[in-house]
Amino acid sequence: MSKEKASVKLWIVGSIGIDDIKTRTADRKNLLGGSVPYSTVAASFFTKTGAVGVVGSDFPAAFDRRWQAFGIDLTGVQRQQGSTFRWACEYDDNMIERTTLKTELGVFASFMPELPAAYRTAPFVLLGNIQPELQMHVLKQADGAKFVALDTMNLWIETARPALLKVIRRVNLLTVNDGEARQLTGKWNLRECAEAILKMGPSYAVIKKGEHGALLFSKDGVFIVPAYPVRKLVDPTGAGDSYAGTFMGYLARAGRVSDGILRKALVHASAVASFGVEGFSLERFQKLSTPDIQVRVDELKSMVKV
């Protein structure tokens, strides 16, 4: 990994893996995966982004080159002896439900992230979907953080709830899907779920509904963003990570947070995430340009215009 330190406005911590993905049309193996590659690449279209994670000695050099081609700073990625986190899944024909076939933590099992000095003063932070104890560990190192977003999942809600609640109290925004929102709060109505989440500490909550878009909740009200209707869904893996990365990348580029900026960030998130699912791993992002993104942003705005 590159040891060159660069100034980053946003850093993202989470998993880095090697994936095997089977869909109704293809069976692909040894793909660059994990939450951090998807989220950092999506964010890189908007701001200088740093990655925090761990890989093993089997991590291909080609993955390094592919990742760095997006201008992402990899100073925060540790390399250890052993195997990189590996995950395999098979999607149902509906491309929504999936079955996990393999999870091998490898060096990720003992991951204890330490932030590079250049990251500690970064104003924007995305705590990806890892154990709450690790999220808190890096959050305590983020001396310059002005806006922190937190992603989590049903596993941590079920098995590490006390630790998760401690992290939630210290962040500005929590992002979960609708099922996780209900599991976390014990409520069914999503407005009631959001109200309960905001009482836990964050100023904002984003509740994702997959192909049906997302809802942003704050004390100022609700903003609904549709998902961009893609023509060809190839692989939905990493869509949520791409969404969160774009959202935070846009905020970091703006350099401040307001209701209007948050809404624009969500529209851009929907647009960029729609590109990611049109290919496996980062393949579609490798062909993506800023003008391409703007076209879909404009299309989304036109779709919801009354």
pLDDT in tens, 153-195: 998 999 999 999 999 999 999 999 999 999 999 999 999 999 9
Share of the chain above pLDDT 70, in %: 98
The answer on pLDDT for 251 being more than 70 is yes
The answer on pLDDT for 2 being more than 80 is no
Work out the mean pLDDT of the chain and round it to a whole number. 95
The answer on pLDDT for 264 being more than 70 is yes
Q: Are 132 and 109 in contact (CB under 8 A)?
A: no
Please tell me the distance from the alpha carbon of residue 184 to that of residue 197, in angstroms, as a whole number. Answer: 8
CA distances from 163 to 36, 42, 111, 114, 202 (A): 22, 28, 17, 19, 15
Specify the pLDDT at position 4.
43
**pTM over the 0.85 mark:** yes
Specify the pLDDT at position 165.
98
Confidence of residue 3 (pLDDT cuts 50, 70, 90): very low
Residues 75-87 as b/e (b if ≥16 CB within 10 A, e otherwise) read bbbbebebbbbbb
Q: Shortest CA distance to 304 belongs to which of 222, 216, 223, 225?
A: 225
Residue 26 or 4, more confident? 26
- 48-104 pLDDT, tens digit per residue, is 999 999 999 999 999 999 999 999 999 999 999 999 999 999 999 999 889 999 999
Specify the pLDDT at position 273.
96
CATH class given for the domain over 10-304: alpha beta
Q: Strands 214-218 and 221-225: what pairing?
A: antiparallel
Confidence of residue 211 (pLDDT cuts 50, 70, 90): confident
Please tell me the distance from the alpha carbon of residue 102 to that of residue 252, in angstroms, as a whole number. Answer: 35
What is the arithmetic mean of pLDDT over 130-147?
96
Confidence of residue 1 (pLDDT cuts 50, 70, 90): very low
What is the arithmetic mean of pLDDT over 221-228?
94
Which contiguous run of DSSP H or E holds residue 298? helix 290-304
